[in-house]
Amino acid sequence: MEADDQMKKLLSSELLTLRPARLGDKIKIFNWLTNSNLTAEMLGPPTFPDNPVPNWEEFDGDYLDYYFDGSQPMKGRCFVLEYEGQEIGQINYNVINPQRKSTEIDIWLADRKFSGKGLGTEAVKILCNYLERSFDCEAIYVAPSSRNLNAIKSYQKAGFIKTDQLPENFAADYADTIVLVRTANTL
């Protein structure tokens, strides 16, 4: 019970809570990514023709069940962002490289009405703190399109800086991907 309490404490702030996602959240998280009024700021034409909106099979192939059931925490995990009693988006980390003590994260909000309030920045800070304390991650990467200026500003507010050092086995999602990293040295 103490471990669960410690995890809950690491995954919350006065503003926001990150709830470990469950398998029942998977379709909702898919819809937030692919069918929200923010989707066009991350995926698909006209702005992102190089990164089409995934269909269910593609999403399901990328976000395997362990992201939602916690069975393989070193391979990745999704969390639902909860703000004032509402579910407002998701944040996740991918495979943790124990030799490099690093991982990559991703985040998306469910609706535009939740953007511009610092909630994404807060979620990123909470997840980074959790990864640093729970998995000894020393380098946390994020790789948005350079066209997604709001996301870049949010990551920078959370302590990320642009880097030319790429994570191991890195595959860019965008033709204009920029890589940002948060390390103990950047805080």
Q: How far apart are CA 142 and CA 145, in angstroms?
A: 10
Residue 10, both tokens: 């690491």
Phi, psi for 129 (deg, rounded to 5): -60, -45
Residue 5: which residues within 8 A CB-CB, separation 6 or more? none
Strand 86-93 to 102-109 pairing: antiparallel
User: Would you place residue 48 in the very low, low, confident or very high pLDDT band (cuts 50, 70, 90)?
Assistant: confident
Give the pLDDT of residue 1.
46
Least confident of 56-60, 151-155, 170-174: 170-174
Note whether 5 and 11 are within 8 A (CB): no
Domains of the chain with CATH codes: 2-138 (3.40.630.30)
The answer to whether the Cα torsion of 157, 158, 159, 164 is positive or negative is negative
- Alpha carbon 130 to its chain centroid, in Å, reads 13
**pTM summary value:** 0.93
**Across 89-99, average pLDDT:** 96
Give me the chain's average pLDDT, please: 91
Render pLDDT for 57-82 as a digit per residue (tens, 0 to 9).
999 999 999 999 999 999 999 999 99
CB 131 within 8 A of CB 160: no
Cα separation, 121 vs 112, in Å, equals: 15
Q: Confidence class of residue 187 from pLDDT cuts 50, 70 and 90? A: low
Q: What are phi and psi of 44, to 5 degrees?
A: 75, 170
